[in-house]
Chain A
Amino acid sequence: MLKISLDRLDDFFARVASEQSLYMPVDREDGQAEFRKWTEGSKLSQRLNTVRSAKDFFFPQTENLVDFKIQGKNIEVLDTREECEDFAVFGVRACDARSFSILDKVFLCEPVDSYYKNRREHGVIISLSCTRPAETCFCTVFGIDPVEPEGDISCSTDGKSMFFKVNTPKGEEFVKKFADVFEDGDPAQLEKMKEFSRNVFKKLPLANLSTDSFGGDKMMKLFNSPKWAELSEACIGCGTCTFICPTCQCYDIRDFKTNDGVKRFRCWDSCMYSEFTKMAHGNPRVSQLERFRQRFMHKLVYFPSNNDGEFGCVGCGRCLTKCPSSINIVKVMKALEVEE
């Protein structure tokens, strides 16, 4: 199996960054981690996860879609799209790695989102397996193996070396490009550690969370549940959960007036906001209860209904950590389940 000894990992990062952009989680001054472009001296964060998810690389918070140049009565339409350069993202956890397949289902189905596709084709995902999960982790509930994450290449460490497992042709190409930095290693110790990690995941407080009560076939029952009123009572209607979520993919398209034209951009939107999906007649969800319900129904009912039962949550636990009122998908699932 391909490996790099841990004391040479920084050399590997430097080598990759010399040929293409490399992003990885680094520690911030406030003790949290975020994905940053590698520069000389960058150190891989030891924290479990970043505040913002890795979806930003393919679906940025704002992006310009098209420009309109106005001269007199003429409007010129300018396509601002450019071929994206190759880039690599190292250290994506299993939850975020799975989120890409969820986003792909939204953005790569017809009509294909060419902006997303462009970035997706040029980005190599190098995932990193988890060994020390947090109490807020529940990816295994959605069939994710945090010890064998998805991605073009998946990495795991046995404490001495970083092992690289190639999963896709894109990953193969990447490994070939940097073939000289890898050694051949024996993963025997690694396999033992993976087994150990899997047992840790079984001990997590949310490991036995059940998805049985959810899915497309339970739509009306869940939609009409009286529990939503109580569940949404403490929701302050901010967009924290949606913006840090690796799978939330709703966006808005706006025009921004410049001196001699218009920039049409898209930006993330949040179903928690009062102006979400506002149309000429007004807003279809007038209360916070309806907006709150929308988010969880989307992840637990509508998305699986349209995507062969796959849930729109990867159990990363970010919303559990960050919600100002500590109300989140786990509490929603537990409350609605009781009703069954």
Chain B
Amino acid sequence: MQEKMKQRAKELLADGTVNRVMGWKKGEFGYDTTPAVFRSAEEIDKYFVCDDFTNSNLSKLLVKESKKDGVILAFLKPCDTYSFNQLLKEHRIDREKVYIIGIPGGPKLDAEIIKSKGITGITGVKNVNYTLVIDTIYGEEKMPFYEAVSVKCKSCKSKKHVIYDELIGDDGDILESDRFDEVEKLENMTSRERFDFWQRELSKCIRCNACKNVCPACTCEKCVFDNPKSGIENKAVSDSFEEKLFHIIRAFHVAGRCTDCGECSRVCPQNIPLHLLNRKFIKDINSLYGEYQAGADLDTKNPLTDYSTDDCEPSIVHERGVE
């Protein structure tokens, strides 16, 4: 797969279809890949990588890249195409400036999970028939591939590319996903238990803003949390409730636009399951306004910014709030 991608990227660079290529660059230890823009065949040969660890979503980076001169080639996984579509819908990306090659998705792996099994000193990771063979300075280690699958890939919603110019590999289907199971677990808690759950999780927050900065739905030119005049700027937590406020406000801001790409939970240095907040909104939108998947197409209106006479009444909040 990686070789095909490199080959095609070099062809498109050579024939002038694109002047840059967005993909991932190799790291130091075989798992620490970095999103990168390649400008020549030499760079691609030397650094380009697409493997089990290229899990970051490239779509948001295209907001900036599509403002530059020339067309950029972007390799997008199925989930990344949903983000791309949503950004197109919000007029954040210039479609003409991006040539999309859809590539098969994950499941992608999370090196932190491998490390949490006590495996350390990692110098390389290979997937041999779904057993991970891990080279470490202490010797070879093995673990099942599926045990290292990242949180964002565990409940994959779709293997289908919703936008592309060409595909490498086959297109997949929208999946029957169990992604709302964990939300249901939270819904079935008493309000006290739920409060305690989020208190425990969100109190770990260090306000690094990684979730906000990586989020493809967060593309405001000036975020309210970066604006010192807003009075709620990012740097300090004045009390234990404020952390919750930050994340809940953010979830509200992206409601109806969040495609459930899972980047927020992937980047959180404290492993806070932030995607569950967004998923709760998605689940509620589905049940109150009918099934809706942000980014699935360019035409369907976001139920939260649309009006129809059979919309639910605000009293639904009260009705649902009764325990």
Which of B179-187, B263-271, B293-301, B310-318 interfaces with chain A? B263-271
Give the contacting residue for A237; candidates B36, B120, B213; CB below 8 A.
B213
Interface residues on chain B, number (Cβ under 8 Å): 44
A249 CB–B CB distance under 8 Å:
no
Q: Are A62 and B236 in contact (CB under 8 A)?
A: yes
Q: Are B238 and A62 in contact (CB under 8 A)?
A: yes
Which of A80-88, A199-207, A297-305 interfaces with chain B? A199-207
CA distance A41 to B64 in the complex (A): 51
- Residue numbers in B under 8 Å from A134 (CB-CB): 115, 120-122
Complex A-B, nearest 6 residue pairs according to Cβ-Cβ distance, in ascending order:
A267-B236, A324-B267, A326-B32, A238-B210, A31-B116, A236-B213
Give the contacting residue for B121; candidates A34, A135, A321, A326; CB below 8 A.
A135
Quick one: closest B residue to A203, CB to CB?
A: B137
Q: Are A32 and B32 in contact (CB under 8 A)?
A: no
CA distance A70 to B28 in the complex (A): 56
Known contacts A254-B236, A324-B56; is-contact A133 B206 (Cβ 8 Å): no
- Residue numbers in B under 8 Å from A62 (CB-CB): 236-238
B123 CB–A CB distance under 8 Å:
yes
A-B residue pairs in contact (CB < 8 Å), sample of 27: A31-B116, A32-B270, A51-B269, A51-B270, A134-B121, A134-B122, A204-B121, A205-B28, A237-B213, A238-B209, A238-B212, A238-B267, A239-B234, A240-B208, A243-B269, A244-B206, A252-B236, A267-B235, A270-B235, A273-B226, A275-B228, A278-B228, A321-B112, A324-B56, A324-B267, A325-B56, A330-B28
Could you tell me which residues of chain B, from 50 to 104, have a CB within 8 Å of some CB in chain A? Answer: 56, 61
A30 CB–B CB distance under 8 Å:
yes
CA distance A238 to B234 in the complex (A): 11
Interface bits A188-212 vs B (CB < 8 Å: 1, else 0): 0000000000001001111000000
Give the contacting residue for A32; candidates B27, B35, B271; CB below 8 A.
B271
- Residue numbers in A under 8 Å from B209 (CB-CB): 237-239, 273
A274 CB–B CB distance under 8 Å:
yes
Q: Are A30 and B271 in contact (CB under 8 A)?
A: yes
- Minimum C-beta distance from B195 to chain A (A): 17
A61 CB–B CB distance under 8 Å:
yes
CA distance A133 to B122 in the complex (A): 10
- Residue numbers in B under 8 Å from A200 (CB-CB): 137
Give the contacting residue for A327; candidates B34, B214, B226; CB below 8 A.
B34
CA distance A61 to B235 in the complex (A): 9
Give the contacting residue for B33; candidates A233, A326, A330; CB below 8 A.
A326
B37 CB–A CB distance under 8 Å:
yes
A234 CB–B CB distance under 8 Å:
yes
A178 CB–B CB distance under 8 Å:
no
A48 CB–B CB distance under 8 Å:
yes
B207 CB–A CB distance under 8 Å:
yes
- Residue numbers in B under 8 Å from A324 (CB-CB): 56, 210, 213-214, 266-267
- A residues whose Cβ falls under 8 Å from a Cβ of B: 30-32, 34, 48, 51-52, 61-62, 132-136, 200, 203-206, 233-234, 236-240, 242-244, 252, 254, 256, 265, 267-270, 273-275, 278, 320-322, 324-327, 330-331
Quick one: closest B residue to A263, CB to CB?
A: B238
- Residue numbers in B under 8 Å from A274 (CB-CB): 226
Quick one: closest B residue to A328, CB to CB?
A: B32
Given contacts A61-B236, A267-B236, A327-B34, 4 further A-B contacts (CB under 8 A): A62-B236, A237-B213, A265-B238, A324-B214
Q: Are B206 and A205 in contact (CB under 8 A)?
A: no
- Residue numbers in A under 8 Å from B36 (CB-CB): 233-234
Quick one: closest B residue to A29, CB to CB?
A: B200
Q: Are A275 and B226 in contact (CB under 8 A)?
A: yes
- Minimum C-beta distance from A94 to chain B (A): 16
B233 CB–A CB distance under 8 Å:
yes
B29 CB–A CB distance under 8 Å:
yes
Quick one: closest B residue to A321, CB to CB?
A: B112
Q: Are B123 and A135 in contact (CB under 8 A)?
A: yes
Could you tell me which residues of chain B, from 199 to 230, have a CB within 8 Å of some CB in chain A? Answer: 204, 206-210, 212-214, 226-228
- Residue numbers in B under 8 Å from A278 (CB-CB): 228
CA distance A34 to B238 in the complex (A): 21
Quick one: closest B residue to A326, CB to CB?
A: B32
- Residue numbers in A under 8 Å from B213 (CB-CB): 236-238, 324
Give the contacting residue for A204; candidates B112, B116, B137, B267; CB below 8 A.
B137
CA distance A45 to B266 in the complex (A): 24
- Minimum C-beta distance from B99 to chain A (A): 19
- Minimum C-beta distance from B253 to chain A (A): 17
